[in-house]
Chains A and B, each alone.
Chain A
Amino acid sequence: MLEALVGRHYIRFCLAGAVFFIGFASAEFLLHKGGLPIATGIYSALLAALVGLGKLATP
């Protein structure tokens, strides 16, 4: 099942792994530069903007 899943989405699977690794590697910079509050602040702003913009239902 995993093979079928990865086989179908292998580019996205590799992309997912690469992004996770970038997050892991950037922690060295983010966590030492300003600590966890800076990192979570940046991520909160990113997620909030993305979720807000992505909700496309019109009232």
Chain B
Amino acid sequence: MRVVLYGVAYSAAYILPAAALWGTLSVILEPLEQVHLLMPLIASIYALGFGVIETLSLPFRTPSLAWQVPEQWLQGRSEVAQAIIWGITLGPGWITVNPYAGIWLLPLLTTLGRNLLMAVVVTGIAGAIHGGARAIGVLRNSGQVGGSCSHLLILGQQLSWRRRDGLILLLVAGTLAAYLLTILQGQN
């Protein structure tokens, strides 16, 4: 029971800041919704390009920030304070190292065809899902680290997750390509 409660509280520390920050981002990006053709075009090119790169495991780096949480932020702090710091920094998934291109498609998808309220709700939910999934990943992997081949295991898993991410990007690229064709047909 205690383990479950710890898991729920730990996940909440990731989910809440992620939902709040992603929801805020959708408000900031709202003006881009007015650009009807350009945003889906950029999103589909990005999804297609990185979808191919990740699915075929091509040697091309995913755009990512390399910032990591400084040790001083954590030293001497309680477990609760550490969980909150991790939750705020890792939950939204923007500022730390990110090996998957899919995350940068999310802000672009925010700008496509929604009213502001719906954009805030949907993007906030996506942020919450990311934060929750991140917390689950951290909790699951904390049991693996320390083993003799843990880093190799993590790298191998990362490669297969990249391929999955690439396949979803290609799925999105296909849908956006059809959407662009619909727009262009409507203009003619």
Contact = CB atoms under 8 A, between A and B. Distances in A.
Interface string B41-60: 00000001001100111100
B170 A23 contact: yes
Contacts, number: 183
The size class of the interface chain B forms with chain A is 35 or more
Nearest to B90: A59
A58 B90 CA distance: 10
Given A16-B52, A26-B175, A36-B179, A44 B69 contact: no
Interface majority SS (helix, strand, loop, mixed), chain A: helix
A19 B122 contact: no
Contacts of B48: 20
A47 B154 contact: no
Given A5-B56, A28-B178, A44-B109, A54 B100 contact: yes
A22 B145 CA distance: 38
B141 A23 contact: no
A58 B109 CA distance: 28
A55 interface: yes
Contact of B175 (A15, A39, A47, A57): A39
20 contacts: A9-B56, A12-B55, A16-B52, A16-B166, A20-B51, A24-B177, A25-B174, A31-B175, A31-B179, A37-B118, A41-B122, A45-B125, A46-B168, A47-B169, A48-B129, A48-B133, A52-B129, A54-B158, A56-B154, A56-B157
Given A22-B171, A31-B179, 5 more contacts: A16-B52, A39-B175, A51-B93, A52-B129, A52-B137
